[in-house]
Structure formats: structure tokens, C-alpha cells
């Protein structure tokens, strides 16, 4: 769950609150019950890093598959040249 930062517009009190993204944002200051605003910082950056890591993981998997395909081709070429030498 992401951590949201809230700041009170009346007394300036700043605090953090663990909330799910589907939860409704808080509207009252716990100190003076005044209006508070949510400070959005770093939440979207964390999501971007997560998706980027997944793409990198997928790429490395494709690279391994390509490397496996290359090896059998090399062996076949060496076998063919060996038979020609035997004749
Ligand atoms: Zn307040």
C-alpha cells in the first residue's frame, strides 16, 4: 500500500497515512479538524520502476532463447565439414 502525505491548510500539520489507492482521501486534520490537502510525491515513480523491471526481465528471456538456437547450427556445420574430409 502506498503512503500518502497530508498537509493541514489551517495549522500546517504534516503527516503520513497508509492507504489503498481505492480508499477515499482524508479531509480533516487530526489536530485541529481543519481542511487538509494530499501531497502526491514519489507514488507514480515507484509504479514506473516496477513496470520497467518487468520489461528488462522479459528481454533477457528472449536473449536466452536466441542463444540456444544458435548453438545447434554451429554443431551441424562442423559435422558436415567432418564428413567431407572423410570422403
Ligand atoms: Zn490542522
**If you measure from the C-alpha of residue 17 to the centroid of ligand 1, how many angstroms do you get, rounded to a whole number?**
15
This prediction's pTM:
0.45
List per-block mean pLDDT (blocks of 10 residues) for the chain, which spans 87 residues.
90 93 91 92 47 50 69 61 63
What residues pack around ion ligand 1 (CB closer than 5 A)? Answer: 8, 10-11, 13, 29, 31-32, 34
Task: Please report the pLDDT score of residue 46 as a whole number.
Answer: 46
DSSP secondary structure code for residue 26 in this structure: P
Q: How many CA atoms lie within 13 A of 64 on its CB side?
A: 6
Sign, Cα dihedral of 54, 60, 61, 63:
positive
The predicted pLDDT at position 16 comes to 92
Could you count the other beta carbons within 10 Å of the beta carbon of residue 48?
9
What 8-state DSSP symbol labels residue 24? P
Closest CA to 3 of 15, 11, 13, 30: 15
Amino acid at each position: 500500500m502506498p503512503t500518502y502525505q497530508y498537509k493541514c491548510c489551517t495549522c500546517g500539520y504534516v503527516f503520513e497515512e497508509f492507504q489503498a489507492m481505492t480508499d477515499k482521501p482524508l479531509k480533516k486534520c487530526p489536530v485541529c479538524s481543519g481542511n487538509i490537502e494530499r501531497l502526491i510525491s514519489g507514488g507514480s515513480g515507484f509504479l514506473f520502476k516496477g513496470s520497467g523491471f518487468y520489461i528488462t526481465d522479459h528481454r533477457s528471456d528472449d536473449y536466452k532463447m536466441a542463444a540456444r538456437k544458435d548453438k545447434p547450427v554451429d554443431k551441424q556445420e562442423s559435422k558436415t565439414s567432418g564428413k567431407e574430409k572423410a570422403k
